[in-house]
Structure 1
Amino acid sequence: MPEPLLAPDAGGVDTSWTRREIDQQPETLRATQALLRDRRAEIEAFIAPLLARPDLRIILTGAGTSAFIGECLAPWLSAALGRPVEAIATTDIVSTPSLYLRAAAPTLLVSFGRSGSSPESLAAVDLVDATIAEAYHLILTCNAEGELARRGSGNTHVVILPEATHDRGFAMTSSFSAMMLAALAILGGIDALEARGPTIAAAVSDALTRCEPLVSNLATRGFKRVVYLGSGVFKGLAREAALKLMELSDGAVVTAFDTALGFRHGPKTIVTTDTLVVVFVSNDPLTRRYDLDIVAELRSDGHCGALAVISAQPGDAADIIIAGMAGAADADLLFPFIVPAQLFGLHVSLALGLTPDRPNASGTVNRVVQGVRIYAAHP
């Protein structure tokens, strides 16, 4: 039986699963790291020989938020591994496999799935097996009962994350951060993340406390448009942040995302006095100069309704400073930086009188996608 959907109680306290799942992220990140530590030998026995192959193609895949995990991590993993790592959504692979799959290229498909039962996720795995002569699968899922969790075989390794990460709410929150941490560790090195994991979890905890007053205030201001800007790994995070608000507001708020440099090339026309712009500031010295330039420009323009800047640098004139992360890699900042966006979406949902666990009361959009027909692919 599915858990009942929860909403604010009679006293106005938000008891939704969405709230709980945002708040539990420090614990679920620690639990995910502990699980990877315990299963390190079997994970590395599968992944190490594959990563040792210079001809191996690596594709990160999923749909919606699960696809955006790949968009966040692909640039960083490409640099860390010294090889291309591609983020290709299952929805692209399934609809146009001839553009994305190469039969002769040995391929590792890394599949992210909260439920593990989305039709496109299953079809993408099947297509890769049917199309590619030498295919391997790393499946990261939050649901032990999902279809992907049952796909273990000689060419497949399944990692089922802690049960708490199987979000009950409509919008993915702790499932997003847990699957992202797992991929960062497995592909970037479980040992390498061992020392950084506690710092990441502590930063997420700090962000949960530090950003609450700001986002709750912003949510009462009734912005009709919200734009998230981020460079490098934060472009994918900006896309995920925009989706969270769109989902939790049931489309009542128009959202957009872009990079600091890309925003000037037309997308900046979205800015009005009813627009909130949120900028994720990189720790990379070169990238952050471009991020801070767009912040200065937006402040100088004075056209947007509000500007919120999120940074890990204490010297920045930022609205939210993530403590203890001034020297962190941008990949590690993904985890605390998404927290303000998640909380803002939640507060907007409540301000609109919606039920955060099921904001789309009409049922036209569902927690596990419905209405998808999978067609046979022709060679």
Structure 2
Amino acid sequence: MKENKSGEQSVSHTKQEIEGQPELWQSVFDLIQAQQKEIKAFLDPILNKNGLEIILTGAGSSAFVGEAAQGLVQKNSKRTTRAIATTDLVTHPELFFPKDHPVLLVSFARSGNSPESVETVNLADSFCSEIFHLVITCNKEGELFKYTRANTKTALAILLPEKANDKSLAMTGSFTSMLLSILLVSDLKNLESHKLELQRIMNQGNLLLDSAKAFKEISAKYFERVVFLGSGPMLAIARECHLKLQELTDGQIICKHDSFLGFRHGPRAVTNEQTLLVYLFSPSDHVYKYELDLAKSIAKDPRTIECVSIGRSEDKVLHSCLNIDLNLNSNQQLNIVPATLVGQIMGYYKSLQLGLNPDNPSISGAISRVVQGVKIYEYPEKIEHDS
């Protein structure tokens, strides 16, 4: 992807932001390492509170960061952890915010100005008897970052490097930077041991970027639907990939996502001869057995449904039109970070192939960098609860 070939936009922010991610991940690691004492001093007393619950939140891609990290944060912190989108918390706070035990609300936000993100913080302060905030953001001018500066006893912000604040519509470096940040922060005591894994995911990211020509050739193929499959934490990465390809093609390519096992239970009906399956395979040999069974089943479909296989060595039975072996390590936690590039790269090239501008592919203006048109209404029980 690092060569500017015919048909590519040499000044595309999207292209530069996708390509710059491996280097950005190093900057994120260095930032977390430099702020390790401050983060630890803030989080340790909170994590030691009896009954603490962690809620990971955001809107759109930022919500998918929480979904991808949820299981790993719970495993690392040994605290009940839930990923709940701000778009759910704003409409139904009474269903999700507990009043009888402490809560750490982790907000992911590229701009920190989305109406739902700001209102979620306000509602959490109103509904929860004991609430703390960790904001992971890319914008020092955002409302969420400003909130942490005004509430230093109960809130802390991790401001990511400037290059994480994508200029293009689609979240690329911001997504992977926020995801890497929370994974590192949730396992802060083992930060030094993650240095080797950081180098591994940087290599994996570069391997995907170096496969740009193959991704470009796939994007030139005719397909009207793309389904991304993943397991465990990779399921949310499949969801992010499906959104990335769909929004970069302005909805001309309809995308779906599911787990490998879940796909059997009805969603497989979406496949036809114009469908491309993208397998985001797990580093776990146990999980891979389930995934491979489903992939082999699809390979036997008489309609010859094409597939892309990411992560494992090539299995000839699958007849993959592209296979990229990422040399996965079964002990990896961070492998979900580079896997996100699959949807980004495919979206970028398919956007160009359709004659769109990847930086701003929405011809109608239906989607924008910061969501527009959301009106926040005062929650009817908020005043009563405050009193």
TM-score range, shorter chain: over 0.9
1:273 aligns with 2:276: no
For residues 11 and 194 of structure 1, do their structure 2 counterparts lie closer, same or farther at Cα, with a shift above 3 Å needed? closer
Asked if structure 2 preserves the Cα contact closer than 8 Å seen for 1:161 and 1:178, the reply is yes
Partner of 1:375: 377
- In 2, the alpha carbon distance for the partners of 1:314 and 1:217 equals 21
Partner of 1:193: 194
For residues 11 and 296 of structure 1, do their structure 2 counterparts lie closer, same or farther at Cα, with a shift above 3 Å needed? closer
Q: How far is 1:222 from its partner? A: 2.2
For residues 98 and 12 of structure 1, do their structure 2 counterparts lie closer, same or farther at Cα, with a shift above 3 Å needed? same
- In 1, the alpha carbon distance for the partners of 2:358 and 2:238 equals 20
Partner of 1:301: 301
- In 2, the alpha carbon distance for the partners of 1:196 and 1:49 equals 28
For residues 315 and 226 of structure 1, do their structure 2 counterparts lie closer, same or farther at Cα, with a shift above 3 Å needed? closer
Asked if structure 2 preserves the Cα contact closer than 8 Å seen for 1:281 and 1:310, the reply is yes
Letter in 1 for 2:9: D
Partner of 2:310: 310
- In 2, the alpha carbon distance for the partners of 1:346 and 1:315 equals 25
Q: How far is 1:10 from its partner? A: 11
Find 2:81's aligned residue among 82, 85, 96: 85
1:177 aligns with 2:171: no
Q: How does 1:191-340 map to 2 (within 5 A)?
A: 191-209=192-210, 211-311=211-311, 313-314=312-313, 316-317=315-316, 319-329=322-332, 331-340=333-342
Q: How far is 1:314 from its partner? A: 3.4
Q: Deviations over 1:182-240 (max 9, x none)?
A: 1001112234433322222222112211x312211111112100000111011111110
Asked if structure 2 preserves the Cα contact closer than 8 Å seen for 1:271 and 1:304, the reply is no
1:18 aligns with 2:21: no
What secondary structure does 2:90 align onto? Answer: helix
Letter in 2 for 1:228: F
Q: How far is 1:11 from its partner? A: 5.5
Q: How far is 1:320 from its partner? A: 3.2
1:110 aligns with 2:106: yes
- In 1, the alpha carbon distance for the partners of 2:371 and 2:325 equals 34
- In 2, the alpha carbon distance for the partners of 1:192 and 1:374 equals 44
1:142 aligns with 2:138: yes
- In 2, the alpha carbon distance for the partners of 1:333 and 1:324 equals 10
- In 2, the alpha carbon distance for the partners of 1:360 and 1:169 equals 12
For residues 78 and 308 of structure 1, do their structure 2 counterparts lie closer, same or farther at Cα, with a shift above 3 Å needed? same
What secondary structure does 1:95 align onto? Answer: coil
- In 1, the alpha carbon distance for the partners of 2:198 and 2:329 equals 15
Q: How far is 1:82 from its partner? A: 3.0
Partner of 2:385: none
Q: How far is 1:285 from its partner? A: 2.1
Q: How far is 1:43 from its partner? A: 0.8
Q: How far is 1:338 from its partner? A: 1.5
Letter in 2 for 1:277: L
Asked if structure 1 preserves the Cα contact closer than 8 Å seen for 2:54 and 2:80, the reply is yes
Asked if structure 1 preserves the Cα contact closer than 8 Å seen for 2:56 and 2:82, the reply is yes
Partner of 2:126: 130
For residues 183 and 52 of structure 1, do their structure 2 counterparts lie closer, same or farther at Cα, with a shift above 3 Å needed? same
Partner of 2:161: 162
What TM-score comes out, normalization by structure 1 length?
0.93
- In 2, the alpha carbon distance for the partners of 1:43 and 1:316 equals 44
Asked if structure 2 preserves the Cα contact closer than 8 Å seen for 1:276 and 1:304, the reply is no
For residues 54 and 289 of structure 1, do their structure 2 counterparts lie closer, same or farther at Cα, with a shift above 3 Å needed? farther
**Which sits farther off after the overlay, 284-293 or 163-172?**
284-293
Q: How does 1:41-56 map to 2 (within 5 A)?
A: 41-56=37-52
Q: How far is 1:72 from its partner? A: 0.6
The percent identity for this pair of structures is: 37
- In 2, the alpha carbon distance for the partners of 1:302 and 1:145 equals 55
Asked if structure 2 preserves the Cα contact closer than 8 Å seen for 1:112 and 1:139, the reply is yes
- In 2, the alpha carbon distance for the partners of 1:283 and 1:322 equals 11
Q: How far is 1:304 from its partner? A: 5.0
Q: Deviations over 1:263-298 (max 9, x none)?
A: 111110111000001111111122111111111011
What secondary structure does 1:355 align onto? Answer: coil
**Which sits farther off after the overlay, 105-114 or 315-324?**
315-324
- In 1, the alpha carbon distance for the partners of 2:218 and 2:351 equals 12
Partner of 2:346: 344
Q: How far is 1:150 from its partner? A: 0.6
- In 2, the alpha carbon distance for the partners of 1:155 and 1:245 equals 38
- In 2, the alpha carbon distance for the partners of 1:170 and 1:322 equals 30
Q: How far is 1:332 from its partner? A: 1.4
- In 2, the alpha carbon distance for the partners of 1:365 and 1:62 equals 17
Matched pairs, number: 369
For residues 78 and 10 of structure 1, do their structure 2 counterparts lie closer, same or farther at Cα, with a shift above 3 Å needed? closer
Asked if structure 2 preserves the Cα contact closer than 8 Å seen for 1:18 and 1:169, the reply is yes
- In 1, the alpha carbon distance for the partners of 2:30 and 2:73 equals 22
Partner of 2:359: 357
- In 2, the alpha carbon distance for the partners of 1:328 and 1:17 equals 34
Letter in 1 for 2:237: L
| Superposition CA RMSD, Å | 1.8
Asked if structure 2 preserves the Cα contact closer than 8 Å seen for 1:275 and 1:304, the reply is no
Asked if structure 2 preserves the Cα contact closer than 8 Å seen for 1:271 and 1:303, the reply is no
